[in-house]
Amino acid sequence: GDSVTQMEGPVTLSEEAFLTINCTYTATGYPSLFWYVQYPGEGLQLLLKATKADDKGSNKGFEATYRKETTSFHLEKGSVQVSDSAVYFCALSDLQGAQKLVFGQGTRLTINP
């Protein structure tokens, strides 16, 4: 079945550092890919998405490119801020998977000033 694997956390960086959170997926069809973010005490909210190969999703300085050849959707940001501290989830939705939304295990990010 469909699955998503994220890099293990937690990740701790200093402010203005470069961020990469790795995400790879397994899907039977051609999924849409998402990154969601969860701030403390809240539900998840969409950060960005990409719906086909080579698409780049971007929002709030974060970017991720849909790489079909490596089945990856890594999240990057050039200069992180303290306010980016949160848990980040990679997810996919696949027509062959009955359109259910499958999440990775999440990566906790802490940014120190």
Partner 1 sequence: DAGVIQSPRHEVTEMGQEVTLRCKPISGHNSLFWYRQTMMRGLELLIYFNNNVPIDDSGMPEDRFSAKMPNASFSTLKIQPSEPRDSAVYFCASRETGVNTEAFFGQGTRLTVV
DSSP assignment, residue 67?
B
Least distance in Å: CB of 49 to partner 1?
Answer: 7
Residue from the set 40, 69, 70, 98 that interacts with partner 1 by CB under 8 A:
98
Q: Which residues is 63 bridged to in the sheet?
A: 58, 76
Range in contact with partner 1 (rule: CB under 8 A) among 18-26, 58-66, 74-82, 92-100: 92-100
| Nearer CB in complex with partner 1: 25/34 | 34
Q: Is 79 exposed, middle or buried, given 0-12, 13-18 or 19+ CB atoms closer than 10 A?
A: exposed
The Cα–Cα gap between 82 and 60 comes to 13
Nearer to partner 1, 18 or 30 (CB): 30
- Dist CA 89 CA 103 (whole Å): 6
Tokens of 57: 């999703």
Which 24-83 residues touch partner 1, going by CB under 8 A?
31-32, 34, 36, 41-46, 49, 51
Residues of this chain that interact with partner 1 (CB under 8 A) are 31-32, 34, 36, 41-46, 49, 51, 89, 93-95, 98-106
